[in-house]
Structure 1
Amino acid sequence: MTRLIAAAFAMSAPLLADYASAQSAPIQVHTSPQQDAGVYSGRLKVPYPTPYELATEQDVRKLTERMHAYVVTAAPVKPIDAETGAPAEMGKLPKSVGLARTDLLILTYEWGVTYAGMLRLSEVTGDARYRDYVNERVTAIGTLAAHAKKNLPAGTNHGNFPMSKHGQAMRGILFPGRLDDAGAMCAALIKSELAGLGDKKLRPWIDNWVDWVANKQFRLEDKTLARNRPLPNTLWLDDLYMSVPCLAQAGKLTSDSRYTDDAVRQILQFSERMFVKERGLYMHAWAQEMQPHPTFHWARANGWAIMAMVELLSVLPENHKDRPKLLEIYRAHAAGLIANQGHAGLWHQLLDRRESYEETSASAMFVFGIARGINRGWLDAKAFGPAVSLGWNAVTKMVNAKGQVESVCVGTGVGWDPMFYLYRPVHVLAAHGYGPVLLAGAEFIEMRKKLPDIGLHDGGMQFGKALEN
C-alpha cells in the first residue's frame, strides 16, 4: 500500500498542476466572424471538452469489453502457500492458503462492487463473459475460504489469526473485523448465489458476513453503525454502502424483514445527521462528540450513499412504510448532485469546490445512481437524463486504451480540513473506479433501451420527444 500511495502521488502531481492551471483560465467560447444573433447555433461546430452526443449501446459495450479484458489479467485467481508465497493450484491446495498480491485483488470491498457491475452487465447485455468472470472468482473464494477454515487451529479468531506474510486475505472472510471486510463482498456473493453461481460454496460466508454486519459491528446507542476511528463514535458516509446493500440483499435472500428494516434505519439515521438539505449533499463524516460538525462534501462518499440508496430501493417492498421518506431523500440528493456537476461532465473531488480535481469513481457512481432512478421511474428523465448522458460521456474519456480507469482517488480516511481531500492522490490501481463504471455502463444501456426519444434539439440534449413549435 505504501508503494501504491507513493506511485499515486507521482501520478497525481501533473494532474493537480494541470487542473490548477486550467482553473485560472476562463472557458473559451469560440465564435465565427459571421456569427450574429441571426445565425442558427446548430450550424457552428462547438469545441466541447466532452462529446456532446448520445452514446450508443455499441459504444458502451466496446468500453466495458475493454475493461473486462484488462481486469481478467489484472485480478486473476492466484492461490498461494500462505507461509512461503509459492504458487498453488486450486485442485491441490497447501494446508495454509492465501491469495497472491496481484495488481487488483479479488477479495476486497472494491471488487465486491466490480462483481455487482459484471452481474448487471451480463443481465442487461446477455454477454456471458461478465457472468463467467464473477462465477470463476466467487467459486474460488468459497473454495479457498472453506479450505483455510478447515486447516486453522481450533480457537482461531480475528485477533489471533495467523497473519503470515501472504495469508491476510483470508482473515476478512473467515473473521471479519470491520464493515469494509464484509458489506460490499457480502452483497455481491448474495447476488451471485441468487443467480445460481458459486457452485453452492457461498452460503457459509454470506451468513458469516451478514452476522457480522447485523450483530457484531460497533453501533451508537440508537443502532446506527459507527466506528471508533479516527475519533470515538464517528459515522463514515462510506459505511452506507459497506452495510446497506448487504442488509438489503440479506432481506431478499432470507425473506427476513429485520435485515431490510435495519438497512432502512441506517439510511434514515445517517441522513438525519449528515445530509445537508440546503445543498442536497452529504458531509463525509460526523463525530458525535464534535461541535460544530465540519462539512466536507467528498465526492466518493456521496457516491457510496446514492449507490446504497438505489440498492435498497431496488429491493424494498413498494408498501414499506418508510419508502416515501427514502425517495424524498434520494430525489433531493440527486438534485443536489446534478446542480454540482462540473461543466465538462465529471464531478469534483470536493463537490462544491471547483478548485478540486475531477474524480472518476464518484462520477461513475452518480451516473449509475441517477440512471437507475430514471430506469425505475423514481426520477424524471427529462430533468435528470441530460446530466447522465454528459456524465457518462465524461467518464468514458477516463478509461484508457488498456481498460484502466484513470483519475480515481486512492483509499481515503476522514479529514476535517479541505487540503486533506484536495491533495489525495489518484492512481489506475485504485480499484474503486472499476465497479462503478461497469454499473454505470449497464444502467446506461438499459436507459437507452427504455427511452427511445432522446437526442439533440436546437443543440441541446433532450430526454423526451422535442416539439418544433
Structure 2
Amino acid sequence: MNACCSSLVIFVSLSLCFSIAQAEPADAARVPHYTTPYVLPSVDQIKKQINRVRTYYESSSTQTIINSSSGEEITDFSEVIHQAEVSEGLSSEWSYTHGVVLSAFDYIDDVIDDERFAKNNTQFYDFVLKRLPYFQQKANQFGPIEKIGVWGRILDFHALDDCGSIGAAMIKTYQKNRKDEYLEIINRTADHISNKQFRLNDGTLARHRPQYQSIWADDIYMSVPFLVNMGALTGETKYYDDAIKQILQMAERLYVPEKELFDHGWSVTSGDYDPRFYWGRANGWVLMSMAELLSIVPEDYPQRDKILHLYRSMVRSLANLQHGSGFWHNLLDRPDTFLETSATAMFTYAIAKGINEGWINHVYGPVALSGWNAINTRILDNGAVDGTVEGTTFAHDNAYYYHRGQSIHAAHGYGPTLYAGVEMIRLLNNDKLDISVAAPNSINSTFHFRLKSEWP
C-alpha cells in the first residue's frame, strides 16, 4: 500500500511538472514575432526609398509626342498629324493621381531641399504648355477632341478629376518658378471648380454619376487642395470659404459620428437611407484634404475649428482600426478585406503631419511609424509601389469593394507613399519629441513618442 501511494505521488508530481513546463514557454516563444518589421527607420533609409520611387516614376515615360500608329517620336511640329498622341506612362499624365505625385515632389523639395523633385514639376508643366497648342491645332483641323490620351480632357474640363488635383500642384509649382504662362490653366481650373462644375442647390460639389445628383468623398480632394492653394495665391478668401463649405457640407451627408469615418458616397435619391461603405482611399482623400486646408488657412479663420474636430476624430478612429501589420483594410471596418497601400500611405502622412503641426497628440506617433514600416514593405527594389487598389467607383455592394484588383500600375499609391515618407522624415527630425525605441528581441517593449517640454 505504501509503495502504491509513493508511486502515485511520483506520478502526480511528474504530471504537475510536465504541465508547468507546458504552461511556461521557452524564452524564444515569449518574444513577439512581428509580421512587419517593428523598427525605427533612419532618415537616410527613408530618403533612399523616396528616391527609389521617384526614379521609377520618372522613368515610366519619355514625355514626348509620338505617332500612335508607328510609335515613333514626332519632332517636326510644323504640320499636324492626326495620329499624334502623348507618350504613355505615369509621369506623362495630366491626371489627379499625377497631381498628388507632383504635390508630393513640391513638398519634398521644401523639406529635404533636393532640387531634383522641383525640377521634375517644372519639366512636366513646361512640356504640357509647350505641346498643348499643337493639340488645340489638331482639334481645330480634325474636329473636337474629347480626350488626348493620357492628358484626358485638358482642352475642355468636364469634371473635378480633370483639373483639381493637378491644378493644385501647378499652383505650388508656379509659386516657386513664377512662370506666368501657367496662369491660363490655373485660372481656367478655378473657373471650372467655382462656376461650371455641377453642384447641389446648397453649393455642394456633386456629380451625376453613378446616380443622379451624387456626392463622392473623393471629390473633397479633387477640389479642396486647389481651392485653398488658390486662396493662398490670390489672397481671395472666397476660395477658403468654399473649401471649408465643401468639407462641412459633404460631412453632413457622408460623415458618420458613430464610426468617425466617411461613407464613400451618397445620392439625393437614396437620402437618409443610403447604404454605407467605409472605403479606405475615400477616407484617405478626406484626411489629406483636411491636412492641406489646416496647413494653409489661418488658425483663427471662421469654422476652421470644425475641420480640425473632424480631422482629430478620424485619426482617433483610424488608430483603432489599423491592422497589426501597420496597414489598413480596403474597407476600413471589414477586417476580412485586403490590406491596402494607398490608404495606408494617406493615413500615415496625415497622422505624422498632425503630430508635426501640433494638431493631434504625439501619442499617435507609433501609429504613423507602423504605417510607414508597412508601406516600406510594398516598395519594390525597382521603386514600384505595390498593393494599391485599382481605381474604384462609388459602389453599393460589398462584393465589388471586396474584390478590387491591386497593382503597381494603380497610380494612386505613388503620391501618398512619397508624402508619407517625407512626413516621417519630419517626424524623426522633430526636435520637440523624444522617441523611446522598442528594444529588439524583447518580451515587452514598444515605441513611445514623448513631448520633451512636458518632462522635467
Q: TM-score under structure 2 normalisation?
A: 0.87
Alpha-carbon contact 1:104-1:431 (below 8 Å) kept: no
Separation (CA, whole Å) in 1 of partners of 2:206 and 2:90: 31
Which of residues 348, 351, 365 is equivalent to 1:385?
365
- Per the alignment, residue 449 of structure 2 pairs with 463
Alpha-carbon contact 1:113-1:435 (below 8 Å) kept: yes
Which of residues 79, 82, 102 is equivalent to 1:115?
102
- Per the alignment, residue 224 of structure 2 pairs with 244
Separation (CA, whole Å) in 1 of partners of 2:320 and 2:292: 23
Separation (CA, whole Å) in 1 of partners of 2:196 and 2:180: 26
- Tell me which amino acid in the other structure corresponds to 2:55: A
Separation (CA, whole Å) in 2 of partners of 1:44 and 1:76: 53
1:124 aligns with 2:111: yes
Q: Deviations over 1:399-450 (max 9, x none)?
A: 1111111111111111111111010111110100000000111111111111
1:87 aligns with 2:44: no
Alpha-carbon contact 2:58-2:91 (below 8 Å) kept: no
- Per the alignment, residue 161 of structure 2 pairs with 180
- Per the alignment, residue 102 of structure 1 pairs with 89
- Tell me which amino acid in the other structure corresponds to 1:206: I
1:142 aligns with 2:129: yes
Q: Deviations over 1:108-146 (max 9, x none)?
A: 110000001111112111111111222211211122224
- Per the alignment, residue 21 of structure 1 pairs with none
**Shift in Å, 1:44:** 6.0
**Shift in Å, 1:83:** 8.4
1:153 aligns with 2:140: yes
Structure 1 segments unaligned to the other structure (5+ residues): 1-32
Separation (CA, whole Å) in 2 of partners of 1:93 and 1:44: 73
- Tell me which amino acid in the other structure corresponds to 1:216: K
1:67 aligns with 2:47: no
1:400 aligns with 2:390: no
Separation (CA, whole Å) in 1 of partners of 2:327 and 2:265: 23
Superposed, 1:204-223 pairs within 5 Å as 204-223=184-203
- Per the alignment, residue 22 of structure 1 pairs with none
Separation (CA, whole Å) in 2 of partners of 1:143 and 1:311: 30
| Percent identity between the two aligned chains | 33
1:375 aligns with 2:361: no
Q: Deviations over 1:316-337 (max 9, x none)?
A: 1122111111111110111111
- Tell me which amino acid in the other structure corresponds to 1:132: K
Which of residues 172, 183, 195 is equivalent to 2:176?
195
**Shift in Å, 1:373:** 1.0
Separation (CA, whole Å) in 2 of partners of 1:335 and 1:141: 41
Partner secondary structure for residue 206 of structure 2: coil
**Shift in Å, 1:85:** 5.7
Q: Deviations over 1:223-277 (max 9, x none)?
A: 0000111111110110000011111111111111111110110000011111111
- Per the alignment, residue 15 of structure 2 pairs with none
Separation (CA, whole Å) in 1 of partners of 2:86 and 2:283: 31
Shift of the 83–224 alpha-carbon distance from structure 1 to 2, 3 Å rule, reads: farther
**Shift in Å, 1:163:** 4.8
Shift of the 212–83 alpha-carbon distance from structure 1 to 2, 3 Å rule, reads: farther
- Tell me which amino acid in the other structure corresponds to 2:434: D
Which of residues 138, 142, 145 is equivalent to 1:162?
145
Separation (CA, whole Å) in 2 of partners of 1:74 and 1:116: 18
Alpha-carbon contact 2:228-2:239 (below 8 Å) kept: yes
Separation (CA, whole Å) in 2 of partners of 1:93 and 1:246: 35
Partner secondary structure for residue 214 of structure 1: helix
- Per the alignment, residue 432 of structure 1 pairs with 412
Q: Deviations over 1:14-51 (max 9, x none)?
A: xxxxxxxxxxxxxxxxxxx7996998x9x964321111
Alpha-carbon contact 1:109-1:181 (below 8 Å) kept: yes
Partner secondary structure for residue 98 of structure 1: strand
Separation (CA, whole Å) in 2 of partners of 1:465 and 1:138: 42
State the structure with more CA Rg: 2
- Tell me which amino acid in the other structure corresponds to 2:113: G
Shift of the 106–67 alpha-carbon distance from structure 1 to 2, 3 Å rule, reads: same
- Tell me which amino acid in the other structure corresponds to 1:233: Q
Separation (CA, whole Å) in 1 of partners of 2:151 and 2:388: 26
**Shift in Å, 1:81:** 4.6
Q: CA RMSD, aligned part only?
A: 2.7
Alpha-carbon contact 1:409-1:426 (below 8 Å) kept: yes
Q: TM-score under structure 1 normalisation?
A: 0.85
Alpha-carbon contact 1:174-1:205 (below 8 Å) kept: no
**Shift in Å, 1:306:** 0.4
- Structure with higher RCO (Cα < 8 A, 6+ apart): 1
Separation (CA, whole Å) in 2 of partners of 1:224 and 1:305: 15
- Per the alignment, residue 312 of structure 1 pairs with 293
Separation (CA, whole Å) in 2 of partners of 1:134 and 1:44: 50
Separation (CA, whole Å) in 1 of partners of 2:400 and 2:412: 19
Shift of the 342–145 alpha-carbon distance from structure 1 to 2, 3 Å rule, reads: same
Moved more, 68-77 or 421-430: 68-77
Which of residues 235, 243, 248 is equivalent to 1:263?
243
Separation (CA, whole Å) in 2 of partners of 1:55 and 1:367: 14
